[in-house]
Each structure stands twice: as structure tokens, then as C-alpha cells.
Amino acid sequence: MEALYPATGARSRSRSGRGSGSAKWRALAAFIAVPVLLPVLVILGSVFVPEGETWTHLLNNVLGEVLLNTLWLVLGVACITALLGTSLAWLTAVTEFPGRSVFSWALMLPIAVPGYVMAFVVIGLLDYAGPLQSMLRDYFGAGAVLPSVRGRAGVIAVMSLVLYPYVFLIARNAFLTQGARALEAGQSLGLSRRQGFFRIALPMARPWIAGGVMLVVMETLADFGTVSVFNYNTFTTAIYEAWFSLFSVKAALQLSSVLMLLVLGTVVIERSLRADAHYTGRGAQNAPRISLKGWIRWAATCFAGAVLLLAFVLPVTQMLIWGWQNFSADFDARYVAFVSHSLLLAIIAALLITTVALLLAYSLRNAPGRFSSMCARLATLGYALPGTVLAVGIFVPLAGLSSVVQGGLDLLFGDGAPTVLLQATLLTMLLAYLVRFLAVAYTPVDSNMQRVTHSVDEASRSLGVSGGRMLKRVHFPMLRGGLLTAMTLVFVDVMKEMPITLMTRPFGWDTLAVRVFELTSEGHWERAALPALAIVLVGLVPIMIMVRRTERAS
């Protein structure tokens, strides 16, 4: 999935930027990087002005538990997704077993299920009052009690099931593109196929797998919805708590700064891993697949089937049942309002963010060089920042700006001055979305921009087509695919997004995700199914696009 690997930015382009035009493009690139830099600086800056009291309170009451919980969660999810993702990727990329061709794409489907959706379905199913335990009690009496799913193991399991596709996709791609030559060379040097896997294929794919796991770690650190359904306290829930229950901006800032440090550490590791990940082979894999024999082939089918069942089929089926049962009760004018808010927000964000991504790609193209690529790298850093952190990091400076403006207005107009509340408008929310999802839009736009070389421009001009006509006849058609992909991906991500929307939405801007949050925090699992289904349905769109593209490529 393109969106998983944001562009690195730095690359050589044939002609270096010259003249005053390139200065303007460089300024634009810098301007685009500001919204990312702002929250990072505001939040990291708060580390250096520790509010003694707040900090002591956090240290004594919150930090220990939250840190431990977060580390366990990250460790558990990283290990399980690495195992699940790599094994499934190898099975579907290299071997042959019944159902293999279906699993190749179907195992990506769980990425469409947001963690918070999976979480409430699992709890609704397995909780004391849920259908499974009720059924057990009916058969075995009141003494039949399952261990609670609400513990650490439950959260780790749920998040692993929705996040393993990241590792699966990237590792599968690595196995597919590494080609058969290296393995054949290994065999000619006397390695068996099994040894070849452990000594050649796996080490060759390792940078990709590790990169995928780092993305999973980022998603885990950023997750708010899943852990809040489980009442499992991590940094994101603590920030939310400080924000809404304690009304303590200081505490939120302090917590955000610690989380930010964790995230930036992950980013550094991930980016250095990505530098190691070179494509080792070209073209299709020529070697015949390894045909699994005997019971092993059915074991492979069962394994892949079980993962798909747990991560996608069961939760979606359960939601369909719940949605059907509650449809008449919940499908009313309010539901339509949630849908239309979600759609409107997602469309505005998709247009805005894709436009900014396009401008960024153009500024890198027209003014290449170290400065512009540094700006692009900064601007696309936001994909790693958790929504809760971003919400705080954008809200605080905007609130500061508002009070400065307000102060000025008060001086000018006295009591009659209009009230300025920048932080409580759509602006905050859209800015936070922009920071978070710019990388998602930038990657496909930039990869298309690579094709629009300078000699394409020159060819067009030498044929008498320049300026706006060139943009329309050459650039736009060449970029169209990337722009559409970018808009689709942002649209879907905004539909799913929960913490930014929760923390910065103006009054009345409730979306489907917000509705899911409200219903699940009151324990109405069955009623959350309808809005959740809509989110999952939309989330399937980019996966369909991706699957179609891979089919076409192979």
C-alpha cells in the first residue's frame, strides 16, 4: 500500500533549480512544513518548561501505569504482528496451498476495520453479558465464566488482528520482489529450501519486515479508540482525560511531550530501516511456488482462514447482525446528520490535503535541492504523530494566537470587540488532519510527479504547448491517477479518524466515528454497529483499488 511508505523526499533530479522562481517554490515548501513543525515545537518545548506541580502529580499518579501499559502494548503487538504478518506473507507469496490466491488479497481486508470497531465487537461478543457467555451459562450454569477479555492480553490481541496487515503487505511485497535468483544461488551452494528461507529469503526481507513493524508500533502508540473501549490506560487516553476531564492543558502537554519522544524515536528507527530497504530483484518471480505437501497444506489453509475469520469475517458478521437488529431504531435523521458530517469533512479534507500535497510535490520538482527535500521530509513527518498529541499541539498555539488577536481587538474596540476563538473552529480540525494525513496524500502524488520529468515539459514546449495548456494537456492527465488515489486515501482516513475529531470538533460536528465513541463508551455495542459498518464499508474502497492494481500488475 503506497500510503504505508511515505516518500523519502531526497532524490536527484536532472536539472537543479535556478532563478527567482525556485526561491518562491522553496518558500512554499517551507510554509507547508510549518503546520507540522508548530505542534512538534510547542509540545517538545513544554519539556523544557516543566510545571513542577503538574509534573509531580503526573509522575506520582499517572506516568508509571501509563508508561508500563504502553510499553507492554507496543511489545506485544509488535511481536504478534511480526509473526502473523511475516508467516502469512511468506505462505501467500512463495508457497501453494488450497485457497492461496484468495488469501493473497483477502488477508489485507482487516486493515479496513478500525481498531476501535474490532474492540467493541470483541467485547460485545465475549463480555459477561454478551451472547457467548450467556450461551455458556445456559448450558453449564451460572458458574461458567470466561476470563475477562478486558485485560492486557485482550487489547494486544485485538490490535494485532487489525494491524498485522501492515507487516503482511510490506513483507509480502519484499518476498515477491526479491526474485528467485538469490534462492537459486543458495541452492547451488548446497542449501536446502528450508535453509534457503532462513538464511537468504528472511534476511533479505528483514529491513522491510522491521519497517512494517515500526509502522505498527507508530499506529499502536497513536491508537486512542481501541484502548479507550478497553479502558486500558495509555498515553493517548491519559492525554484525552487531562484534556476533557481535568481541563488541564499543562498535563496534556506534558504527557504529549513524553509520547512525542517515543514516537520520534520510532520514526528515526523506521526511517533508517527504510534506507536499508533496497529492492534486490526486478521483475516477476520465475521460480515455481513451493507446493506444500500432505497435512501441512491444510494446516496452512486453516491458519490463514482462522486469521481471516477472527480479524474480518466474524466481526463484520456480528456487526451485520447487530446493525440489522437495530436498523429501524437507529437509522433516523440524526444518523443522516452523522453521515453527512463525516462525508463533508472527509471531502473537504481530501481536497485540501491533496492540494497541499500537490503543491509540495511541485515545489520539490521545481526547486529541487537539500532545502526543499528537508521541508518535504518534515511536512510528511506528521503521519507518525498521534491524533491526541496533534490535537493538543495545534489547539494550544491557535488558542495563543487567538488571545493575542483578541488582546489587539480589545485595545482597538474596547468592550465592543468581536470575540475571536480560532481554536474552536473547523480550522483547528483541518490543520490537524493536514498534518496527520499529508504523507498519505503526498506519496501517490509524488510518485506520479516522478514521471513528469523536465524533459516531458521541454518536449511539450518544443511542440508549441506551454503554460496553462501544458498543465491541462500533459501534467494533469499524468497526475490524475495519483491525485485520485490521494483523495481516496485521505477521505477514508478522515472517515475513520477518531481522536482529532473528538478533541477539536466545533460544537455540533459529530461524525460517525464520534457516534461510535459515544455509544461504545456507554456500552451500547449493538447500536454502534450501524455507524461502524459504514466506516468499514468506506475503508474497503482503497483496498479494492489496491487489489485491482496488484492483479493488473501480475
Partner 1 sequence: MRLEFSQVTAGYGDRDVLRAVSFDLASGLIGCLLGPSGCGKTTVLRCIAGFEPVRDGQIIVDDAVLSGPGFTVAPELRNFGMVFQDHALFPHLTVRENVLFGLHGLPAAKRAARAADVLSAVGLEASADVYPHELSGGQQQRVALARAVAPRPRLLLLDEPFSSLDVDLRLRLSGELRDFFRASGTTALMVTHDQKEAFAIADEVGVLRDGVLEQWDTAFNLYHRPATRFVADFVGRGVFVPGTVRSDSEVEIEIGIVHGKLTRPYTPGSRVDVLLRPDDILHDDSSALTARVADKAFRGADILYTLALPSGAQVFSLVPSHHNHQVGGAIGIRLAADHIVAFDRETESG
Site residues, partner 1 (CB under 8 A)? 16, 18, 451, 453, 455-456, 458-466, 473-474, 477-478
Measured from the Cβ of residue 235, the count of other Cβ atoms closer than 10 Å reads 27
Task: Compare residues 336 and 463 and give the one whose CB is closer to partner 1.
Answer: 463
Calculate the CA dihedral of residues 6, 9, 13, 16 and round it to 10 degrees.
Answer: 150
Helix (H, G, I), strand (E, B) or coil at 311: helix
Measured from the Cβ of residue 460, the count of other Cβ atoms closer than 10 Å reads 18
Task: Compare residues 19 and 147 and give the one whose CB is closer to partner 1.
Answer: 19
Q: Which of 391, 360, 304, 274 is nearest to 91 (CA)?
A: 304
Task: Compare residues 19 and 418 and give the one whose CB is closer to partner 1.
Answer: 19
Q: How far is the CB of 322 from partner 1 (least distance, A)?
A: 46
How far is residue 401's CA from residue 398's CA, in Å, rounded to a whole number? 5
Task: Compare residues 18 and 194 and give the one whose CB is closer to partner 1.
Answer: 18
Q: How far is the CB of 135 from partner 1 (least distance, A)?
A: 58
Q: How far is the CB of 474 from partner 1 (least distance, A)?
A: 6
Element (H, E) at 432: helix 426-449
Asked if residue 205 lies in contact with residue 171, where contact means CB atoms within 8 angstroms, the answer is: yes
96 phi and psi, to 5 degrees?
Answer: -125, 125
Asked if residue 164 lies in contact with residue 115, where contact means CB atoms within 8 angstroms, the answer is: no
Task: Compare residues 282 and 293 and give the one whose CB is closer to partner 1.
Answer: 282
| 395 HSE (CA, 13 A, CB side) | 22
282 phi and psi, to 5 degrees?
Answer: -120, 155
Q: How far is the CB of 26 from partner 1 (least distance, A)?
A: 16
DSSP per-residue string spanning 101-146:
HHHHHHTTGGGGS-HHHHHHHHHHHHSTTSHHHHHHHHHH-TT--P
The three-point CA angle 260-263-269 to 5° equals 140
For the chain, percent helix, then strand, then coil, each to nearest 5? 80, 0, 20
Task: Compare residues 414 and 477 and give the one whose CB is closer to partner 1.
Answer: 477
Q: How far is the CB of 9 from partner 1 (least distance, A)?
A: 22
Q: How far is the CB of 455 from partner 1 (least distance, A)?
A: 4
Task: Compare residues 17 and 386 and give the one whose CB is closer to partner 1.
Answer: 17
How far is residue 442's CA from residue 138's CA, in Å, rounded to a whole number? 55
Q: How far is the CB of 388 from partner 1 (least distance, A)?
A: 42
Q: How far is the CB of 16 from partner 1 (least distance, A)?
A: 7
Q: How far is the CB of 462 from partner 1 (least distance, A)?
A: 4
Residue with cell 532563478: 19
Task: Compare residues 18 and 293 and give the one whose CB is closer to partner 1.
Answer: 18
Residue 478 Cα distances to 10, 362, 535, angstroms: 22, 13, 31
Task: Compare residues 24 and 461 and give the one whose CB is closer to partner 1.
Answer: 461
Asked if residue 452 lies in contact with residue 475, where contact means CB atoms within 8 angstroms, the answer is: yes
Task: Compare residues 348 and 465 and give the one whose CB is closer to partner 1.
Answer: 465
Q: How far is the CB of 186 from partner 1 (least distance, A)?
A: 31
